[in-house]
């Protein structure tokens, strides 16, 4: 269900939300021109709310679901403490966070990451505290390819609410029960009783790339002759994986100061040699070509074999920011040809 709203009502609603919640939206940095998802303050940029800034934000939306780093436990190492080395809940108060003007590819990445993280308590806690208000893409970039991997510039997967452009203004549509409950507690114009628009249930067709990859022989892809050629230029900087909204690997480290310690979860990257280094010294992906192959095999073969869709939303961040111009679209073509 949706309602019509005007510009003034939308801005007033957001102004109200920032007094109660943490609200983030894409904004362009005045000096660098780079778009980041930034925290809304009292001085709201109404223009950037009414007409979302163009371009994919540099910020990966995963930062709101997997903070970098995230304290997952606390402990004491004091000798006299009867509970020394016992891991305890971090006790961090988590306020509702509202992500506004989120692109369809980024919202969809949250839905994809929810598959491997279905039972991850930390991710699920973040998911529960977050309301995603999406916005369809009116301007795609030369590096975007969401439709190739099963998305759409007008897709709503992963969103709770969506702001739509209509012939005579704007409309607010409810997509999930979480979105309906949020609007009930924080009404915008006449929205209080809105119920979610029924979503297509199951049976959604997988993108061609996912269907093709599921049919391909794993070893034929694994042993394909093009991997050394793709890997040659890679410098294993990890930029592609850190910027990617659908790369979700992490490392866990304990840090101690005095007698107090924290257990931290950090983003990690399969492009780093240390990622798979065993305590024995053996490294199953010690060579660059093995790491590069794993990145693409995970996204386009292992993930679809396990969950269905491919683990890529076509946001193009890795295309734009790879320092040696490795283009994932070319890799997809090569894998399709096997
Ligand atoms: S951004 Fe490019 S060079 Fe850096 S690890 Fe990824 S593919 Fe390699
Ligand atoms: S692999 Fe590249 S294009 Fe695909 S979601 Fe990650 S950053 Fe975006």
- The C-alpha atoms of residue 64 and residue 24 are separated, in whole angstroms, by 10
Mean pLDDT of 13-20: 96
Give the Cα separation of 41 and 35 in Å (integer). 17
Per-residue pLDDT, averaged over 87-102, amounts to 92
- Average confidence score pLDDT of the chain: 94
> Which stretch of 15-29, 169-183, 203-217, 322-336 has the lowest confidence by average pLDDT?
203-217
Closest ligand to C-alpha of residue 235 is 1
> How far is the centre of ligand 1, averaged over its atoms, from the C-alpha of 299 (Å)?
15
Pull the structure tokens for residue 187. 């009404």
Distance in Å, CA 248 to ligand 1 centroid: 16
Whole-number pLDDT of residue 139? 83
**Rounded to two decimals, what is the model's pTM?**
0.94
Tell me how far the alpha carbon of residue 246 lies from the centroid of ligand 2, in angstroms: 7
* Distance between CA atoms of residues 247 and 241, nearest Å: 6
Q: Which residue, chain included where needed, has tokens 């990257």?
A: 269
pLDDT in tens, 254-305: 999 999 999 999 999 999 999 999 999 999 999 999 999 999 999 999 999 9
Does the pLDDT at position 201 exceed 90? no
Task: State percent of the chain over pLDDT 70.
Answer: 97
Give the pLDDT confidence of 147-194 residue by residue, as tens digits.
Answer: 999 999 999 999 999 999 998 889 999 999 999 999 999 999 876 667
Contacts of residue 239, defined as CB under 8 A and 6 or more positions apart, other chains included, come to 318, 321, 322, 323
Let me know: does 213 contact 300? Beta carbons within 8 Å. yes
- pLDDT-derived band of residue 42, with 50, 70 and 90 as boundaries? confident
113 band by pLDDT with thresholds 50, 70 and 90? very high
CA within 13 Å, CB half, 100:
29
Query: Nearest Cα to 130, choosing from 41, 212, 191, 62?
Result: 62
Whether the CB of 315 sits within 6 Å of ligand 2: yes
Would you state the pLDDT for residue 231?
Answer: 97
Domain ranges of the chain: 2-336
Token pair belonging to 224: 């394909």
Give, using CA atoms, the residue closest to atom 8 of ligand 1.
234
Q: What is the pLDDT of residue 40?
A: 95
């Amino acid at each position: 269900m949706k309602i019509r709203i005007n510009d003034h009502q939308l801005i007033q609603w957001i102004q109200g939300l920032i007094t109660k919640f943490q609200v983030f939206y894409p904004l362009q940095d005045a000096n660098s021109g780079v778009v980041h998802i930034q925290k809304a303050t009292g001085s709201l940029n109404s223009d950037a709310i009414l007409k979302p800034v163009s371009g994919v934000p540099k910020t990966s939306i995963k930062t709101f679901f997997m903070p970098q780093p995230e304290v997952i436990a606390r402990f004491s190492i004091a000798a006299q403490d009867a509970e020394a080395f016992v891991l305890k809940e971090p006790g961090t108060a988590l306020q509702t966070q509202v992500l506004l003007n989120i692109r369809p590819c980024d919202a969809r990445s949250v839905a994809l990451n929810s598959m491997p993280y279905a039972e991850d308590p930390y991710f699920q806690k973040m998911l529960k505290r977050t309301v995603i208000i999406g916005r369809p893409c009116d301007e795609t970039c030369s590096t975007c390819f969401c439709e190739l991997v099963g998305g759409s510039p007008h897709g709503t997967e992963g969103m709770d609410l969506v702001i739509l452009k209509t012939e005579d203004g704007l409309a607010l549509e409810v997509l999930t029960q979480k979105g309906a409950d949020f609007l009930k507690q924080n009404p915008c114009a006449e929205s209080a009783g809105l119920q979610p628009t029924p979503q297509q249930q199951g049976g959604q067709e997988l993108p061609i790339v996912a269907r093709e990859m599921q049919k391909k022989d794993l070893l034929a892809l694994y042993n394909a002759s093009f991997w050394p050629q793709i890997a040659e230029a890679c410098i294993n900087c990890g930029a592609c994986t850190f910027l990617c909204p659908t790369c979700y690997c992490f490392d866990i480290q304990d840090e101690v100061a005095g007698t107090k310690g924290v257990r931290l979860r950090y983003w990690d990257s399969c492009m780093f040699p240390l990622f798979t280094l065993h305590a024995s010294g053996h490294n199953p992906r010690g060579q660059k070509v093995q790491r590069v192959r794993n990145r693409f095999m995970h996204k386009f073969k292992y993930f679809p074999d396990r969950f269905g869709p491919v683990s890529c939303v076509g946001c193009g961040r890795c295309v734009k920011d790879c320092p040696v111009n490795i283009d994932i679209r070319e890799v997809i073509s090569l894998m399709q040809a096997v």
